[in-house]
Amino acid sequence: MAMVCPECDYPIDIDEEIDEGETLQCEECGVELEVVSVDPIELAPVEEAGYDDEDVSHVTEENDD
């Protein structure tokens, strides 16, 4: 299955038996892509995990009334 990288439009060949939630890497720009949907196949760049959680806990800490 031929797809293109959502970040750089580089053509990516995907196994048709790929599962939702699997990740792959664009060999052109190096971005990590997650399969967010398989019918039709949709790819989305993987965000850095944990960053948002860290930010939220920091805000909670400041709420010291």
Residues 5, 24, 35, 43: which binds Zn ion (CB under 5 A)?
5
Alpha carbons 45 and 21: distance in angstroms, whole number: 12
Q: Which is nearer to Zn ion, 11 or 55 (CB)?
A: 11
Dihedral sign, Cα of residue 16, residue 21, residue 24, residue 25: positive
Residues 3, 14, 18, 28: which binds Zn ion (CB under 5 A)?
28
Structure tokens at 22: 């699997």
- Decide if residue 44 touches Zn ion (CB under 5 A): no
Alpha carbons 4 and 8: distance in angstroms, whole number: 8
Residues 8-27 that bind Zn ion (CB under 5 A): 8, 10, 26
- Decide if residue 29 touches Zn ion (CB under 5 A): yes
